[in-house]
Structure 1
Amino acid sequence: MLESKAGVLFVAGLGFFALAFLSNALVPALMYRDLPEKTVEQLVRDNGNLRFQVEDLARRFPESFTTAFGKPPESVAERERWLDRTTQEALRVGHRVYVGEACWHCHSQFVRPVSNEDRRFGPVSRTEEYQNELQRPVLFGTRRVGPDLSREGGRRSNDWHAVHFFKPTTLSTGSPMPEYPWLFDGSPDRPNKKGLALMAYVQWLGSWLDSYPYYEDYKASPLPGGEPSKGAK
């Protein structure tokens, strides 16, 4: 086999494949196998930006939110615990919807350190950001028909996302993104549980960054009868 050029190239190809597998798959797997994976409960804890977004969904779509997740308790202490549980449920449901609707076919969740990507999509992605249950399966994406969503949280309001999911061309002329009317009960101002959860998940992306610019001018919008969540800017 090594007596011909084709044979040499074939063996070399196998060698490079083995090297790539070793360096990009096996070695990282061994390096990070003992790194604990965060649960949704840990992701929600102390994330004021995300809590703000869930409260905002409850304020903007009160009937839809109550139908999907129930009515907030009267007690302030109970309301805080309820909000935590609701946020956790919304993230898990929203993640399933995002994966199930194949959003990752057109949108990546990985800002690469090349081609000034950080100027378009925000800070370059870090390894630790992917060590949690909402990154399973890994959603690096296969192509970018649409923008990278790693830092999407806070860029746009929940009203914007509702209209965009319902009929994308209303806000983005010529957009190839399909419409998702089944995430609503008739109109963009009536998202169902899947629609609300998907918005919560999209608003979570990047919200964990301490110095995230899109929340600097936000003011917390408390649930009816409650106080703004701690940590929301």
Structure 2
Amino acid sequence: MFESKSGILLIGGLGFFLFAFLSNGLVPILLYRHLPEQTVAELAENQNLIYQFEDLSVRYPEQFEKYYGEPNQENLAVALELGREIYTAEGCWHCHSQFVRPVSNESVRWGKVASSDEYQNVLQRPVLWGTRRVGPDLSREGGRRGNDWQALHFFDPPLLSPSSPMPRYTWFFDENDPAKPNKRGLAIITYVQWLGSWLEQYPLYERFVPLKEQMQNPLE
């Protein structure tokens, strides 16, 4: 049997399967076995994301207090986890990928090529790499645009991107008002602002005057 053409193909097929298993399954496990998977609470310690969450509390004070209360890390973790659930449930990953590939100058458009360590956290279970690019890759979306822009974009995408095929998500807002994001709206904005917040090129929160100081000293 093994001397026949079918036998050789069978052995070759099994060999390639074994190679694929080792290279794509076992090797990554061995490489990152020392790197523990980050929890949502640990992800909420990210200072860039904390700034964005505080910014939401200032821009939408009544809505934020109604649904999340104080902009502390505990509530940030709740919003972040809920935002991921909403993003998945709404099928956003059908049109947006979260994986910058080392081909076609993708790094020029969306930033550094994705690396394995970026997916070592609970919000990447399961991973949302995606295969379609109806919309842009969102791996580095966080910090690129303000929270007001994100809110209006979810409310009515063509207002900001005229040719956008993205549907309107009016149920993310109370009274169909883009100035009143509800619990779901605030959560998904938080999740989007988290994407890429761990990178050095994310707009550093140190560049901004702390929001509490801005409110105390509005003219400075």
Structure 1 position 63, deviation (Å):
1.4
Q: 1:84 — aligned with what? A: 73
2:37 equivalent to 1:37:
yes
**Partner of 2:52: helix, strand, or coil?**
helix
1:55 and 1:223 map into 2 onto residues whose CA distance is 12
Q: Select which of 195, 201, 210 maps to 2:200.
A: 210
Q: 2:104 — aligned with what? A: 115
1:105 and 1:13 map into 2 onto residues whose CA distance is 32
Structure 1 position 13, deviation (Å):
4.0
Aligned pairs for 1:11-26 (under 5 A) are 12-26=12-26
Q: Is the 8 A contact 1:59 1:223 kept in 2?
A: no
Structure 1 position 119, deviation (Å):
1.0
Q: 2:57 — aligned with what? A: 58
Structure 1 position 126, deviation (Å):
2.2
> Deviations for 1:143-193, whole angstroms, at most 9, x for unmatched residues?
211111111111011111111111111111121112211111112111110
Q: Select which of 155, 158, 179 maps to 2:147.
A: 158
Higher-RCO chain (CA-CA 8 Å, sequence separation at least 6): 1
Same amino acid, percent of matched pairs: 58
1:55 and 1:204 map into 2 onto residues whose CA distance is 13
Q: 1:134 — aligned with what? A: 123
- Give the residue type in structure 1 aligned to 2:93: W
Structure 1: which 5+ runs fail to align?
Answer: 73-81, 228-233
**Partner of 1:146: helix, strand, or coil?**
coil
Structure 2: which 5+ runs fail to align?
Answer: none
> Deviations for 1:13-54, whole angstroms, at most 9, x for unmatched residues?
443233222211232224334431111222222x22111101
- Give the residue type in structure 1 aligned to 2:211: S
Structure 1 position 112, deviation (Å):
1.9
Q: Is the 8 A contact 1:108 1:147 kept in 2?
A: yes
**Partner of 1:222: helix, strand, or coil?**
helix
Q: 1:28 — aligned with what? A: 28
Q: Is the 8 A contact 1:58 1:223 kept in 2?
A: no
Q: 2:156 — aligned with what? A: 167
Q: Is the 8 A contact 1:183 1:191 kept in 2?
A: yes
Q: 2:182 — aligned with what? A: 192
> How many residues are treated as equivalent by the alignment?
215
Q: Is the 8 A contact 2:48 2:204 kept in 1?
A: no
1:8 and 1:83 map into 2 onto residues whose CA distance is 62
Q: Which runs of 4+ in 1 moved over 6 A?
A: 223-227
- Give the residue type in structure 2 aligned to 1:44: A
- Give the residue type in structure 2 aligned to 1:205: L
Q: TM-score, normalised by structure 2?
A: 0.86
Aligned residues: CA RMSD = 2.5
